[in-house]
Amino acid sequence: MKDARYFARMKDEVNRPDRCRVIRFSEARKQIPTPAGERAVLALKRGTLDVKLSIPVPPNEQTPHGQDEIYAVMRGRGVLVHGDRRDPFEAGDLLFVAAGVAHHYEDFSGDLALWRIFYGPPGGEIPQP
């Protein structure tokens, strides 16, 4: 049975001011490239959730990731290559890549900017029937 101290801690956790916020594209964009020359910057890390703003340059080389991944395309266009498929995308689109799937993007515009979002357990979420 949970005691009053547990509920007090949970109330404090729920009401922490950093639990909600606006993450601004313009602020994250100013940090790219990083001092080390990286083309992505961490915007939010919470539990399994990991969000970065990515502004890639060719060639876009990636290895399969351990978590499911979403890309929210903020600007630009390109082609998502995954398996034997080539799916064009543009600003406003949402791309999904399951954990462990080899993928990259090609033929992308010089202004391409994406929010890269990892989430869930290693191996990805289990699809519901």
Please count the structural domains in the chain. Answer: 1
Q: pTM here?
A: 0.82
In a domain, 128, yes or no: no
Mean pLDDT of 4-11: 60
CATH code, domain carrying 42: 2.60.120.10
Mean pLDDT of 114-122: 97
In the chain, what's the furthest Cα-to-Cα distance?
A: 58
Q: Distance from CA of residue 58 to its chain's centroid?
A: 19
What's the pLDDT at 21?
87
Mean pLDDT of 37-59: 95
Rounded distance, CA 4 to CA 115, Å?
Answer: 40
Length of the chain: 129
What's the pLDDT at 61?
87
In a domain, 38, yes or no: yes
Render pLDDT for 51-63 as a digit per residue (tens, 0 to 9): 999 999 999 989 9
In a domain, 97, yes or no: yes
In a domain, 89, yes or no: yes
SS (H, E, C) 4-23: HHHHHHHHHHHCCHHHCCCC
In a domain, 129, yes or no: no
Supply the range of the domain harboring residue 88. Answer: 22-119
* Residues 51/119, Cβ–Cβ less than 8 Å: no
